[in-house]
Structure 1
Amino acid sequence: MLRLLVIVLFLVVLITFALSNPDPESLWVVSYGWQLSIGVLTLGVGVASFLIGAFVMWIGELRQRSRARRAESQVRKLESQLIDLHQQLGRYTAATPATATETPAAYPAATPGI
């Protein structure tokens, strides 16, 4: 939301500048010259800069999305391992209660007073 507000304010300033400077000026780049108003030139440079910035931001978002996908696949893999371990623990605890309640023969019951 803050980005949108900054973009709108920037475009309002650019459009206001472009409308207030309609006089054509001679512009030269190396040996090529043309007549263009400073406002239109500023607006064109601003729009081009915005498009380049949006493209760079999009590339960064693609990298972030790929990292997020890798992290999510790792989380899914770890969750499946956790489920497997819970199932193994359940099988182990289901099998051991019968032997855990019996008194082992190696340890006879203690007699009082000894």
Structure 2
Amino acid sequence: MKKRSIKNTRINEEVHRELSNIIRGEIKDPRVSSLCSVVAVEVAPDLKTAKAYISVLGDEKAQADTMEGLRSSAGYIRKLLASNINLRNTPEIQFILDQSIEYGVRMSKMIDDLNQGN
């Protein structure tokens, strides 16, 4: 596996920060949950594509609606990203549902339940 360059790491962090701000403050789509957060962003070295890992707290319907809302407004998000970050290319964003936080909360609850039983 190739080691990430410092430049790529900085770009990932900057896109992550701006994407979080855009989703929190600029997206007016009612399908996008207010309990939605950007967990991580991986921008390809050629700056053509980016994978945004999104965590949504709520039931499966809220998660599906939020992901659909984000995918439908991807062009608008990309346009805002281009105006906020000065990059050679503005990456095309692929939204991926990340359930690791929800999984961690569920495992923690199961461990607590086991400890209560003893």
**Whose helix proportion is higher, 1 or 2?**
1
Q: Same fold (TM over 0.5)?
A: no
Please report the TM-score for the alignment, with normalisation by the length of structure 1: 0.34
Answer with 1 or 2: which has the greater Rg. 1
Select the structure with the greater relative contact order (CA < 8 A; seq sep ≥ 6).
2
**Whose strand proportion is higher, 1 or 2?**
2
